[in-house]
Structure 1
Amino acid sequence: MSDVLLTAAGEDPRHGLRAVCAVRELADRLEHLQVERARGLGWSWQEIADALGVTKQAVHKKYGRRI
């Protein structure tokens, strides 16, 4: 296990919670990038929703105006 993971899973909740925030932010950015890429390739909102495991309405609400 890497030092970063050991620190994040360690005794100090501050480190673990900071790691959770960083992972959440990274996941959000990656999701946005991939949704944008999928739309650029002509994917429907339903196809994107299926890939993300959410409803079409949820993904369109989150990204419809941004992309």
Structure 2
Amino acid sequence: MAERTDPIDPETGLRAVAALRKLADHLEALHVSDARAQNWSWQTIADVLGVTRQAVHQKHARRTQD
């Protein structure tokens, strides 16, 4: 897919990366919230995301209710 982008216009590519990052962050927050609502542990969520428990907790704890 990356080969199909226009190498002459980096602005378009960078805007696409920023939009994808924003979408990914939103989806992660949504699914972490859903997982916590279903009583998933921070460790289980971290394992699925491939990060540490501390990282996922620090990023999402204030957005979810424990």
Q: Same fold (TM over 0.5)?
A: yes
Q: Number of aligned residue pairs: give it.
A: 62
Unaligned runs of 5+ in 1: none
Task: State the TM-score, normalizing by the size of structure 1.
Answer: 0.86
Task: State the TM-score, normalizing by the size of structure 2.
Answer: 0.87
Unaligned runs of 5+ in 2: none
Q: Compute the RMSD of aligned alpha carbons.
A: 1.5
Q: Tell me the secondary structure at the aligned position of residue 22 of structure 1.
A: helix
Q: Give every structure 1 segment of 4 or more consecutive aligned residues whose post-TM-superposition deviation is greater than 6 Å.
A: none
What is the rounded CA distance, in whole Å, between the counterparts of 1:31 and 1:65 in structure 2? 14
Structure with more relative contact order (C-alpha pairs < 8 Å, separation 6 or more)? 2
Sequence identity (%): 61
